[in-house]
Amino acid sequence: MSVALTPIDNERMYLVVNPDGTAEPSTLTTDYQSTMALLSLYDQHGIGKPVAETFEDGAQILPVRVTIQPDGTADDALAAAGAAVGSDETVLYLARLLATVSMSIRELTWDRYVDDGEGGYEFFGWLPRTDGQRDFLLIMVYPGVGLSFTTSSAKYSKRIAQALGLDDTPHNPCTPIADLFGRADEIEHRLNNGAAPPVDESKKEVLDTVISEIIAAHTEPLRYRQATYATYPLEDQPLGKIRLTCGEGPGEGIWVARPAGADHVVLQNDALNFYPNKSIGVILPTTGNNYDATNLLNEGVLDLHPEAWQQYLEHGLIDASGRWLGPSQPVTSSQS
């Protein structure tokens, strides 16, 4: 959808003006009270000066006359943001975008965000429900693609769209995944004329043996060692995605933690290229967006973040020497 701006011609508005006469365009609103509310919101999120300091320094809220004319498309705006990845302007643009949604939905709690390093961002937040549970909100901003969102909340879907200036389309109902498995069970039950599917124990035994042999052959060379040099906690580390490959094999996009100042990343999901070994918490010696694990697998030793090392031991995945024992209990990422 292409949005056309209705020009504003010489309308009265309000904004903060500094003692030297320079204006703060980010405080522009249609009335005095809204400008004060916006300053308070910025203050809460650590954007700019605290409200009290702003006025102590001599700034004032003044009425102004404003004329606004269109100067490009939404794609132009996103392309400009993408061209300044990580710049102060981009950070302020994104913070104000989220602040706009927060002002519309006071109950919203922001959680985490992902920066793909190429101008694309994803923001994750939570919305309260009357049953004590929470609905999710995901806002996506990508240059050349645009601004979009998805949410499990039928209650807030329309208000989110309005706050972001997007189409007010009907909410797509979200269904618990458990219902999908329930339907699958019903279908399987019906296809078997109401009876449980037969189990051929002899075939199952042969299959289990073959699987065990494959796992043993694949994992024999692989061992783990505790990366004592990784002294930072995994929780709350910045997240990103890399493309992981192994030679000419298929690549996969996988989540990683990117500790500030480190020369490595830490896997936050199990990688198919390490299957059937677990790999949450495995350290990859790269800071880029692509990594070929061929040499790492040929070496046969995987460095584990100390927190992951302890989890692997507790769940019986490895012994004290780092030898792989096979899956026992699931290990989950510490990141949400």
What pLDDT sits at residue 42? 79
Q: What is the pLDDT of residue 251?
A: 75
Residue 137 CA: distances (Å) to CA of 116, 149, 232, 308: 19, 7, 29, 29
Mean of per-residue pLDDT scores for the chain: 79
Paired strand residues for 29: 14
Taking residues 287-305, report their average pLDDT. 88
Q: Each residue of 74-123: pLDDT tens digit? A: 666 655 544 444 556 677 778 888 888 888 888 899 888 888 777 788 99
| More confident site: 315 or 188 | 315
**Mean predicted confidence (pLDDT) in 231-241:** 88
Q: What local confidence, expressed as pLDDT, does residue 213 receive?
A: 54
268 has a pLDDT exceeding 60: yes
Per-residue confidence at 297, pLDDT binned at 50, 70, 90? confident
Predicted local confidence at residue 334, as pLDDT: 41
The region, left, alpha or beta by phi > 0 then psi within -120 to 50, assigned to residue 15 is beta
Does residue 292 have a pLDDT over 50?
yes
Instruction: Quick: pLDDT tens for 125-138.
Output: 999 888 888 899 99
Task: Look at residue 167 and tell me whether its pLDDT is greater than 70.
Answer: yes
Whether 181 has a pLDDT exceeding 70, the answer reads no
Residue 2 has pLDDT above 50, yes or no: yes
Question: Which of 1-10, 266-275, 324-333 is the most confident on average?
Answer: 266-275
Question: How high is the pLDDT of residue 146?
Answer: 76
Query: For residue 328, what pLDDT is reported?
Result: 45
pLDDT tens digits, 182-232: 666 666 666 666 555 555 555 556 555 655 554 554 445 578 999 999 999
pLDDT of res. 11: 92
Q: Which residues pair with 254 in a beta bridge?
A: 242
Question: How does pLDDT run across 35-61, given as a tens digit for each residue?
Answer: 888 888 877 766 777 888 888 889 999
Please check the confidence at residue 12 and state whether its pLDDT lies above 80: yes
Give the confidence band of 17 by pLDDT, cuts at 50, 70, 90: very high
